Amino acid sequence: MPNEQSEVIVAVICADISGSTALYDQVGNLEARSQIDACLRILQQVIREHGGDFIHSRGDDVLCTFDDPQNAFATVKDMLARTKDGALSVHIGLDFGPAIRTRDDVFGDCVNVAARLASLANPKEGLCSRSIFKAITPKTKNELHFFDSRKIRGKAKAEHIYRYAGVNVESNTHVSFGAAPVTNFPLPAHDGGDQMSALIGFEGIIAHCTQDKGVTIGRADSCDLVLPRQWVSRQHIVIEMRKDHAYLRDISSNGTYVCMDGQLPILLRRETMALPGTCTLSPTKHPDAEDALSITCQLHHAALFKPA
């Protein structure tokens, strides 16, 4: 019957393709749709191989369920492995608990949590709930790393979140390089220019963040500011200008401290914050740590900036 439904205990996977919106602009509608469909076929093939129950695909995501949380986690690993070298990558959320199963859909708290974890995850990464962590074997638990304790929308209490990223790009070995000096920028006098931009500095290198171009900060050579430390994510921070404000978006595994004079440091983890006129940033480590890095940010009027 169309309205037949039943209560089930299932592990729910929500896998979403990263960068699909930008792909349409880059390669055109037909080619983008072809690449997205190819990625979706890979994900569905993985679900079939692991014996999962494919629920639906809407646009550029897939939703599926498993009776066994261990099998669901193995599916997440396989999804990430099969798409890591492709033109598109995926980000995944996974939860375990009671749900309502209908003929062609599944509903419930664990479905909502899986979707929210997927939206929080970075490309090529899976985020799992504590319910999944508790249900898998001790050996499998070793493949997960505690990510954060966070209030998820719709939940009364903060949820423990665990991260799986296939090849762990973070290192447990902390190498001390000494504290980096704070870069001070001369702030020119305002001559009536309306548009604001920001100067972002680290160890004598300065990146200019404008309305048209953001600044990426991380360990990867492709970043605008490169931080050669193993405990910094390959892409750790994105700073963008929106009208008269610079916004920091943390996309790392370990977070970013925002430091302002006279205030306690604020730790951001996969969150966005409007920055004050002057502040310093410390990726991963508390700014009081001996080997903490210090990145200086300062807003100024773009019309007065003259590159060297």
Q: What is the pLDDT of residues 85-106, one digit of tens each?
A: 877 889 999 999 999 999 889 9
> What pLDDT is attached to residue 74?
97
Average pLDDT over residues 248-271: 90
Check residue 304 and report its DSSP letter. Answer: G
Question: Is residue 171 over pLDDT 50?
Answer: no
Q: How far is residue 19's CA from residue 206's CA, in Å, rounded to a whole number?
A: 28
Average pLDDT over residues 211-234: 94
Question: Is residue 177 over pLDDT 50?
Answer: no
Average pLDDT along the chain: 84
Question: Is residue 110 over pLDDT 50?
Answer: yes
Nearest to 135 by CA among 76, 62, 67, 46: 67
What pTM did the predictor assign?
A: 0.66
**DSSP conformation letters of 234-279:** SS-EEEEEETTEEEEEE-SSS-EEEE-TTS--EEESS-EEE--SEE
3-state helix, strand, coil in the chain (%, to 5): 20, 35, 40
**In this structure, what are the phi and psi dihedrals at residue 21, rounded to the nearest 5 degrees?**
-65, -45
Q: What is the pLDDT of residues 18-61, one digit of tens each?
A: 878 788 888 889 998 999 999 999 999 999 999 999 999 988 99
